[in-house]
Structures are given as structure tokens and as C-alpha cells.
Structure 1
Amino acid sequence: MDPSHIKKISVQVIILVISSTRTEKEDTAGKAIQTLFQDLSIPVIRTEIIPDNIEKIQNSLKRALTDANCVILTGGTGITHDDCTIEAVEPLLDKKMDGFGELFRMKSYTEIGTRTVLSRAVGGIMNGKAVFCIPGSKHAAELATRDIIIPEIYHILTHANR
């Protein structure tokens, strides 16, 4: 595809770390995501730790989207009883980007094999802004951010705002 249609949009990022047990000191995934963006001079407005609670996740996401056009939620995407990030976010999406989760799982498969079936990574658009739900491990967060989100964020936001 001809990349000339992609606009150099100003990207502002907010990272929501979903965890009922991690503290700011213990958060490695959010810090890894922040470093990857900052290394490219893409501003990260803030990082917040949100407990595994659907209402709190939804409220935090809505608030984040008033300040940023790219929100990354890391954690709470697994299949344990308290993992609820996907249940909180999917109903709010205007459009779901199925390819994001598919590509993330494909890339993960080459590294962790069939354990990738436990990943429920999701990407989508809400109010013309990009939203990504990715696993909470540092390695998975780096993989999704470095290999998929950063290379495509301008393309995604260009199309989301047509």
C-alpha cells in the first residue's frame, strides 16, 4: 500500500496498567511501553495503575481518551477469574481491529508457542482514537508496542479520523 496517504499526526499516549496487585514500583510493562515511545519522542502523558474492575477500567479509559489519541491498556487480558480488561473495553469500541490481536498472537507464537492461545489481545477505535489491550508481561508489552503499535499508529490514526 502506498504510504503517502498516512498523515504525520501528533500522537499522545496514555498507558493504563490493569492490576489489582502491582504497584508503580513493580510495574515493568507500563515502564517498558513508556520507554519505547519516549525513545521515539512520542509523548506519554501519564501512566496509571487501575484495579481489575470493569467499571474502573471503563471510567479510566474514557477519561484517558479526553487527553490522548492512543491508549494502551496492559494487563488483565488473560483468562483467570479476575481478568476483565477485554470485557470492559470491547463494548466501548466503535470498530475492532481483529488483525491486531491476530498479528500479536502470530508474533507471540514464534516465541512462546501454543501458550499464546491464552492471549486475548485486542485493538480498536473509540471516538477516532486508538485503543490497545495487551498482556501485562514486560516482554509481551514490548513485543506489541515495538513490533505493531509504534509502526502502525500513524496509519491507524489517519484512517480512524477520515
Structure 2
Amino acid sequence: MTDRSPAPTTPHHAAAPRSVRAAVLTVSDTRTAQTDTSGQFLLAELRAGGHEVVGYAVVRDDALAIRAALTGLLRDATIVITSGGTGITGRDVTIPVVESLITKPLPGFGELFRMLSYREVGGAAMLSRAVGGLAGQTLLFALPGSLNAVRTAWEGLLRDELGHLAFEVARHGQPEQPGGEG
């Protein structure tokens, strides 16, 4: 369980949707849908929170496979959460793909995630390159693959802010992206 303060109650929180369209992508060379504990945790938590799960996939640690899966999920979801491939090994290619899709970074997400992780795993938290931001009209968050890290991000950052994040994205609209996508 992550040590955190209760979510603030603001007019924006009150106006936020109670349910968002969400998708989960697991990046792994070894996991399958049956052995994907991190992805299954996210799916269960999203559903328990009343969110609509509009997509789920497990893809190998390959930039083209990750990009293809994300492109499809971004079309249908308000938020996409990935797990895996965020470390520093040669096979960890999730972050460059995610960063190439992000049009409006949320640097505070990665900073806060590493702060929470530091409390749990000490200096090893620096190995995480977790990131978040907007990819066009969709919120995109890349988490490490371990169940503990996913639980930390979910309970400490995302769970209580999903509706508020979705509200903020839609509140004044987003500028059209180059190439007419937006």
C-alpha cells in the first residue's frame, strides 16, 4: 500500500467524469495474457473503479509492435496505461516509443512516481524511466512492469486522478496536431 494523502476535493474533481474509457498494454518478451499479473491488476482496478476497458494487449519488447499496439489503443481510449519496457536494458524500448507519441508531457508524473518508488525500493527507483503525458487527445502513461511498481503508480497517482485528468484534457479542448490528427 502506498503512503499518500487523500485526493483533494475541488470543483474540477466534482465535475470530472466518474468513468473513463481506458486501455492497458503490457510490453514483455515473457508474459502472456495468462501470466500478466501487472496488466490483470490494472484491468481489475479499472473495472472495479467503474471505468470502461476498451482494449488490452500484450506485445513483445519491440518498437514497431509497441507503436502499432499503442496507435490502435489511442484511437478508442481516453487513457492508455502501459507496463513494462521502461528500464535501461537493451530490450527496454517502450519509453522512446511513448515519448515519440506524447504531444504534451506531464513531467510531474514520472517525478512523483520515482519519489513514491524511492520510499519503497530506495535508490533502485532511479532505474525507472516512467513517463506520462498527452498523446493527442489521449492520456498515455508508461509504467515499469513489476506488479509492485504498477500498484504504486495506480494507488499513489492514477486511481484518484483519472476522472480529473480526463476532465482537464477535455475542458478547453486540445490544439489540432500536425497532419490533421488531434
> What is the identity percentage for the equivalent residue pairs of Structure 1 and Structure 2?
37
Structure 2: how far apart are the matches of 1:158 and 1:76? 29
State how far apart, in whole Å, the 2-side matches of 1:127 and 1:3 are: 26
Please point out which of 8, 11, 14 is paired with 2:16: 8
- For 1:156 and 1:8, the matched residues in 2 are separated by 8
Tell me which stretches of 4 or more aligned residues in structure 1 moved more than 2 Å. Answer: 5-10
**Aligned residue identity for 1:150:** R
What code does the residue aligned with 1:151 have? Answer: D
Task: Give, in whole Å, the separation in 2 of the partners of 1:40 and 1:157.
Answer: 15
Q: Are residues 1:81 and 2:95 paired?
A: no
Q: Which runs of 5+ in 1 are unaligned?
A: none
Corresponding residue for 1:160?
A: 169
Does the alignment pair 1:65 with 2:74? Answer: yes
CA offsets, 1:44-76, max 9 Å, x none?
A: 223200111112111111110111111001000
The structure having more radius of gyration, on CA atoms, is: 2
The alignment of Structure 1 onto Structure 2 pairs a total of residues equal to: 162
1:1-162 correspondence runs (5 A): 3-6=10-13, 7-9=15-17, 10-161=19-170, 162=172
Q: Displacement of 1:2 after TM fit? A: 6.9
Q: What letter matches 2:94 in structure 1?
A: T
| TM-score, normalised via structure 1 length | 0.94
Q: Distance in 2 between matches of 1:40 and 1:111?
A: 25
Normalized against structure 2, the TM-score is what?
A: 0.84
